[in-house]
Amino acid sequence: MTRRRGIGYALGSVGTGGFGTLPGLVLAYYLTDELGVAAGLASLVVTVPKVWDVVVDPFIGARSDARYARTATRRPFLLAGALGLPLAFVALFAVPAALTGAAAALWVTLAFVVATTAFSLFQVPYIALPAEMATTYAARTRLVAPRIAVLAVAILVFGAGGPLLRDAAGGGRTGYLVMAAGSAVLIGLGLLAAWSDAPRAHDGAAPGPSADPPARRSVRRGDALTRGVGALREVPALRALLATFVLQALAIGAMLAGAQYVATYVLGSESAVAVLFAALVAPAVLVMPLARRLADRIGKHRAYRAATLLFAAAALALVPMLWAPGVWVYVPVACAGVAYAGLQVYPLAMLPDVAATDARDRGTDRAGVLSGVWTAGETAGLALGPTLLLLVLAVTGFVSRQGGAVAEQPASAIAGVVLSFSLLPAVLVAASLTTLRAYPLTRATVDATAVPEEV
């Protein structure tokens, strides 16, 4: 484990952060307020590709394990994702001018399926790497924390800079396309940096350590799904951590998708989304080093619980926007941003502990399978968050438009926007405390037979 390899690993979050942020932030709004897609249909557009992800991610994880068992590297998957994702990302926002409504929705759905598949080819093996690059409880936190810091910066840059670039390019479909092209360049560079410094297979290298013998055989999709379901059934720590993270991903997904609607229809300025987003993510960047120190002092589990409580309280404090919208909303949003740092650092530092403990207890390595299950849950949660928002908007009578002037919305739709940005995330994150309580691993159990390592 070298410093350069750690830096390269962290830079991969430039790409994953970009793709994880912009579609969640602007895609729903792009569909309803630029392409004229009804909110109910738009909910299907953002959901179908993620349902596909749930199916394909365990398959990619099992294939990644098979490759690692034979060659001691996961690099081919990383490269395939790094090359394919930028192109598919541009296509996502390159809907031809002649297409509107259902036809535009079909274009976006197909492009999003391709983009999410390319993302999974990179993300699944990428998440599996820490369990193989670092071998102790503390070392994995030290490896993951810089990656999450880069992720937070990337989320801030893409989330705030993307809409600004869109508006600077004149808005409309051209503005979205310019935003996508500029973002795709940064996404590709970040993914390629992680691929370049990922562990390589050398001549004469042994197969992956403790490789699972079934992973050496070719993997069918049904077998991969069986392994993924088996991992969930056999590893209580994975079930508890994944359930917690999925509930929080639902909350964050709804909040991110609702930010543009809050800016336009509650704060009265479409461009205010950049400030709103910066208020959420900038504090996360600033407190990221403190989040790691807190975990070192009190443990990841307790620190994760504290961050969860703070996020739920901050989201609930946004409910008064129903009666008194104003600049005060940036204060609870910033508090949510402080908590957001922990909601990213701690679960992703705990997942390698789960994989390493599972490999030690079973005598076989299935980090790819576990990361495939994790990625499926994460992407489903982040996708269903915007779906929940769009369903609320559909029920409350939101009026879609094809660009042009901002549509006049009924009071019920404004209430739907506010509650999707505040009460809904608060309830989901509060519910995740129940599943987090079931997480069984401690520093002592994780490091019981680990070999000390410096990162």
Is residue 411, in this structure, part of any structural domain at all? yes
State the CATH number of the domain containing residue 376.
Answer: 1.20.1250.20
Q: State the pLDDT at residue 223.
A: 60
The tens digit of pLDDT for each residue in 346-403 reads 888 888 888 888 878 777 767 777 777 777 777 777 778 888 888 898 899 988 877 6
Residues 430-442, mean pLDDT to the nearest whole number: 90
Contact 311, 429 (CB under 8 A): yes
Q: State the pLDDT at residue 429.
A: 95
Is residue 222, in this structure, part of any structural domain at all? no
Q: State the pLDDT at residue 218.
A: 47
The tens digit of pLDDT for each residue in 244-288 reads 999 998 998 888 888 888 988 988 888 888 888 888 878 877 887
Q: Any residues with CB less than 8 A from the CB of 98 and at least 6 apart, and which?
A: none
Most confident listed range (193-197, 259-263, 265-269, 316-320):
316-320
The tens digit of pLDDT for each residue in 328-337 reads 999 999 999 8
Is residue 129, in this structure, part of any structural domain at all? yes
Q: What is the pTM of this model?
A: 0.70
The tens digit of pLDDT for each residue in 203-235 reads 344 444 444 444 444 445 456 567 767 777 788
Percent of the chain with pLDDT over 90: 28
pLDDT at 455 over 60: no
Is residue 454, in this structure, part of any structural domain at all? no
Pairwise CA distance, residues 346 & 454, whole Å: 19
Contact 288, 150 (CB under 8 A): no
Give 427: exposed, middle or buried? Use CB within 10 Å, 0-12, 13-18, 19+.
middle
Is residue 216, in this structure, part of any structural domain at all? no
Residues 41-63, mean pLDDT to the nearest whole number: 82
Is residue 7, in this structure, part of any structural domain at all? yes
Is residue 206, in this structure, part of any structural domain at all? no
Q: State the pLDDT at residue 12.
A: 84
Is residue 68, in this structure, part of any structural domain at all? yes
Q: Which domain holds residue 110?
A: 3-199+231-442
Q: State the pLDDT at residue 452.
A: 47
Q: How many domains does the chain have?
A: 1
pLDDT at 91 over 70: yes
Structure-token match 């609870």, residue found: 332
